[in-house]
Structure 1
Amino acid sequence: MIRDSLRLRLLAAAAVAIFAALVLAGTGMSWFFERHIEQREADALIRDGKLIAGGLRVDAAGRPVADAQPGDDRYGEAGSGLYWQLTTSKGSAHSDSLWDQNLPLQPGSDREDWRARHLPGPFGKSLLMVERRILPEQAAEPVLVQLATDDGPLHAARREFNRETALSLGLLWLFLLIAAYVQVTLGLRPLTTVRRQIATLRGNPAARLPGGHPREIAPLAEAINALAQAREADLGRARKRAGDLAHSLKTPLAALAALAAQNRRAREAGAVEAADGQDRALAAMRAALETELARSRAAAARDAGHSLAADIETQIENIIAVIERTELGERLIFDVHMPDELHVPVASEDLTELLGALIENAARHARVRVRVRGGMAEEESQLWIEDDGPGLGRESSEAVMARGSRLDEAGPGHGLGLAIVSDLMQATDGTIALGRSELGGLEVRLAWLVERSPAAPRKSAFLRWMTRHR
């Protein structure tokens, strides 16, 4: 899972790096704390040792005598954990706290400066001891001055410090992880912006990623724009080839029309069977040419762009204006409703071709009314074209969609070749469904899954009203 997420990779790396840094910091702080408290205890022992050294003398037998002793009462309590001892080759003297015990003599005790070290001591305890050899006046040999304290409290203080430090560093680790999450989120936010912009670019080949990206993302945005420019050029060439194909088919279609006229004359002359056979061959040729043209047109329409509600409504009004001028449309009432948030992933010219075929078919079979409406359902854009004509039964609708050929093959009227409509819907990842309208006739439902993008400027309600009633 971490391999599939850049965010998790960065957070995992930050967690490990912060944890390692805090462990090193905790170890260093523990070492410095232990050194600090040991040095503080050693300094306290050295101060007491200097006080003893100030009153140090040797008696006639050569044994050391301490005329001045520290004022700490623990030196007088047996096993209190605070001791002093004076040693020469003739004998020794020690604090009452040592009772019948002695401080150990270790190699290296002949130093003439204070030295601190840890070693096992009396009463089964470990000691922190400072020692130094001092030569009193009129003494034949130096006296070894030793002072010691139990280091158990030192270790206890260190453990307490380590426990509190570990808790503090753990809380700091969590806080830094939260800070790292915020940092990673803010750092990756430009990529989220690029993703949204790419969604817009995917629906409109003429769109480009805007500038203003961070320096690290700018090369990626430039590469995406270059790819989009190449795709737009390829799409333009495909559309041009589709147009050229349509133009080149005009002559063969004219020839087919001339052959059809010859068929009529042959039928009038009595050669009905031959004329019917020729008509079937011509119809098959025309169907093949129209199918290939529809496929070429639909292939060029893939990812051709977006149409917004105002544009869709304008296209529908233009189609209706043309139909109303015909004898077929004079008697009909057209009802159009497009919500402002509607947008479909189909270019304007392709949507005009698609809606024109469907609205013309509805007008051909409607009695009084044709309704065109749109809507958004979560992330789906929908268009409905309905009429109040005879409609199609359920079995007829299923048969038409199963064959995917012509509506007029499944029932009377509704002559609409589905080649262009179905190919355009398939090319734009849309779906088409036939059903019974609330008006009583046929309902054609078109639907596309779309990803919402920032709304583009739309016409005001007043301008849309003027467009509808001009």
Structure 2
Amino acid sequence: MTRTSLRLRLLGGAAVAIFLALALAGIGISWLFHQHVERREAADLIKLAEQVVAGLTLDSTNKPFVDPPPSDPNFQSIASGIYWQASAPGGTAQSPSLWDQSLPRTASQTRAWSTATVAGPFDKQLTMVSRRVQPDVRATQVVVRVAKDDDEMQDALREFDQELALSLGLLWLVLSLAAYAQVHLGLRPLLRLREDLDRLRRSPIARLSGEHPQEILPLTQAINALADARESDLARARRRAADLAHSLKTPLAVLSAQNRRAGETGDEITADGINRTIDAMGAALEAELARARASAARGAVAQSIPHDVAEGLVAVVERTEHGERIAFSIDLDPALRVPVDGTDLAEMLGALIENAARHARRRVCIGSLGDESGTPILRVEDDGPGMDDDAIARATERGVRIDESGTGHGLGLAIVRDLAEATEGAFRLGRSPLGGLLAELSWRAADE
């Protein structure tokens, strides 16, 4: 399923909704303005037409004439764009601006002023008002028409529509930016919630804070209840695993003692097989105890000083059978801190140092360096035979038990891997410049 951004969905919906609203508003405003301008144009024409009616009379032949004519000088210029005409059965009177043309007849002329848009003389579109009038007591009716060219009005309406569209476009942009700010502020509590969830993922004892909006509080309360249940289940599981491991150590010790007695009686083959089985079971128990410690280490908020831990471990390993012939060098800054409990760090470094001492020829180095982001990396390396690239690749694959790789670097490295993963760290094996195995431990900073 394709993941979509809630922020983009909200912003997209807001932008579309604002666009549709402004488009409808623009259409409505344009229509109202057009109606207003057309009514004003018709009102101005009616005033001119009333001047025609005021001077309208009929002669003895029922031919109309207007005296005085309307005062607008444009009526005197040919094809000026404004015209009047009075038509009766006896003839027609019209403005000089019509020259040899005439205004078209509309479908109906009533006793009230009517407005129409017509095709007029000189290939122009006109707005025309007309009505029937009776100038005197005679029953003769005269149709009075006054018309004006639409070009100027239509140009003005087009300019208004363009300016309105530009204004609404700018308004859409401003409102879209306001919607972005609103969405950003509205989703900010989810960012705080994500940070709380990340702390909860790192530490089972952490809980989501109550400083969230009321709409999110039911979710945070449900997650906290789930975290409480998870912590209780983990605690019970760790206790049961530890109890099981400890309960099996005593029967294994008894079985080992009985096996030694069997060997003393001369059944060395059987005793040797039982002894290997006991060693394998003991290793499995030690591994389970280490995993229990790793589970307990997960989420623990602490710091330790690698320099002090390494010095204490080297002081112990130097007294062992393998360590007394090895030269140890510690190149660690006493001010260096790593975000892991001292006991867990000692468990990991102890396994690495002991493993290096067992396989080194003459030298073991414990040091550190920083990566591109400044995160410290602890290194333990030796000058022994090391591991080839294929063995290292198999040993570092996810899900592969290093103690089953058959390379001689066994249970200790598996414990280191489990503890590193439990403390949000990284464990890597490689080739050392000294010629042997290189083991690296690193932990990302909490703000990453």
Q: Shorter-chain-normalised TM-score: which range?
A: 0.7 to 0.9
RMSD: 3.9
Q: Any conservation in 2 of the 1:134–1:142 contact (CA below 8 Å)?
A: yes
The correspondence for 1:286, drawn from 276, 279, 291, is 279
Residues 334-343 or 2-11, more deviating: 334-343
Tell me the distance in 1 between the aligned counterparts of 2:276 and 2:425: 30
Is structure 2 residue 356 aligned with structure 1 residue 357?
no
Q: Which amino acid letter does the alignment assign opposite residue 19 of structure 1?
A: F
Is structure 2 residue 363 aligned with structure 1 residue 371?
no
- The verdict on how the C-alpha distance between 1:219 and 1:416 changes in structure 2, with shifts beyond 3 A counting, is closer
Q: Which amino acid letter does the alignment assign opposite residue 188 of structure 2?
A: R
Q: Which amino acid letter does the alignment assign opposite residue 176 of structure 1?
A: L
Residues 36-45 or 278-287, more deviating: 278-287
Mapping of 1:40-79 within 5 angstroms? 40-79=40-79
1:158-193 Cα offsets, whole Å, 9 max, x none, are 223223333333333333333333332332232233
Q: Any conservation in 2 of the 1:400–1:409 contact (CA below 8 Å)?
A: no
Partner of 2:398: none
Partner of 2:339: 343
Partner of 2:126: 127
Tell me the distance in 2 between the aligned counterparts of 1:288 and 1:396: 30
Structure 1 residue 9 displacement after superposition: 1.9
1:203-257 Cα offsets, whole Å, 9 max, x none, are 1111112122223333332232222222222211221112112221221232144
Structure 1 residue 116 displacement after superposition: 1.8
Q: Any conservation in 1 of the 2:64–2:87 contact (CA below 8 Å)?
A: yes
Tell me the distance in 2 between the aligned counterparts of 1:293 and 1:322: 19
Structure 1 residue 35 displacement after superposition: 1.5
Q: Any conservation in 2 of the 1:386–1:441 contact (CA below 8 Å)?
A: yes
Tell me the distance in 1 between the aligned counterparts of 2:223 and 2:342: 24
Structure 1 residue 376 displacement after superposition: 5.4
Tell me the distance in 1 between the aligned counterparts of 2:252 and 2:296: 30
Structure 1 residue 66 displacement after superposition: 1.7
Q: Any conservation in 2 of the 1:408–1:416 contact (CA below 8 Å)?
A: no
Structure 1 residue 21 displacement after superposition: 1.7
Partner of 2:204: 205
1:52-85 Cα offsets, whole Å, 9 max, x none, are 2333333333332222333322211222220111
Partner of 2:135: 136
Q: Which amino acid letter does the alignment assign opposite residue 383 of structure 1?
A: L
- The verdict on how the C-alpha distance between 1:24 and 1:416 changes in structure 2, with shifts beyond 3 A counting, is closer
- The verdict on how the C-alpha distance between 1:381 and 1:202 changes in structure 2, with shifts beyond 3 A counting, is farther
TM-score of the pair, normalised by structure 1: 0.77
Partner of 1:464: none
Structure 1 residue 137 displacement after superposition: 4.7
Mapping of 1:4-83 within 5 angstroms? 4-83=4-83
TM-score of the pair, normalised by structure 2: 0.80
Unaligned runs of 5+ in 2: 396-400
Unaligned runs of 5+ in 1: 456-470
Partner of 1:463: none
Tell me the distance in 2 between the aligned counterparts of 1:31 and 1:17: 21
Partner of 2:305: 313
- The verdict on how the C-alpha distance between 1:192 and 1:276 changes in structure 2, with shifts beyond 3 A counting, is same
Partner of 2:234: 235
Residues 179-188 or 422-431, more deviating: 422-431
Q: Aligned to 2:427, what secondary structure does the other structure show?
A: strand
Tell me the distance in 1 between the aligned counterparts of 2:57 and 2:389: 127
Structure 1 residue 394 displacement after superposition: 4.6
Tell me the distance in 1 between the aligned counterparts of 2:278 and 2:393: 22
Q: Which amino acid letter does the alignment assign opposite residue 201 of structure 1?
A: L
Q: Any conservation in 1 of the 2:86–2:144 contact (CA below 8 Å)?
A: yes
Q: Aligned to 1:311, what secondary structure does the other structure show?
A: coil
Partner of 1:92: 92
Is structure 2 residue 101 aligned with structure 1 residue 101?
yes
Tell me the distance in 2 between the aligned counterparts of 1:92 and 1:83: 13
Tell me the distance in 1 between the aligned counterparts of 2:314 and 2:308: 10
- The verdict on how the C-alpha distance between 1:201 and 1:295 changes in structure 2, with shifts beyond 3 A counting, is same
- The verdict on how the C-alpha distance between 1:53 and 1:430 changes in structure 2, with shifts beyond 3 A counting, is same
Partner of 1:298: 291
Tell me the distance in 2 between the aligned counterparts of 1:160 and 1:142: 41
Is structure 2 residue 217 aligned with structure 1 residue 226?
no
- The verdict on how the C-alpha distance between 1:49 and 1:379 changes in structure 2, with shifts beyond 3 A counting, is farther
Counting aligned pairs with the same residue, the percent is: 44
1:105-156 Cα offsets, whole Å, 9 max, x none, are 32431223x2222122223322211123334354544433221112233223
Tell me the distance in 2 between the aligned counterparts of 1:145 and 1:408: 114
Q: Any conservation in 2 of the 1:338–1:375 contact (CA below 8 Å)?
A: no
Q: Aligned to 2:304, what secondary structure does the other structure show?
A: helix
Tell me the distance in 2 between the aligned counterparts of 1:264 and 1:247: 26
Tell me the distance in 1 between the aligned counterparts of 2:304 and 2:29: 71
- The verdict on how the C-alpha distance between 1:422 and 1:288 changes in structure 2, with shifts beyond 3 A counting, is farther
Q: Which amino acid letter does the alignment assign opposite residue 26 of structure 2?
A: G
Q: Any conservation in 2 of the 1:358–1:416 contact (CA below 8 Å)?
A: no
Tell me the distance in 2 between the aligned counterparts of 1:333 and 1:196: 41
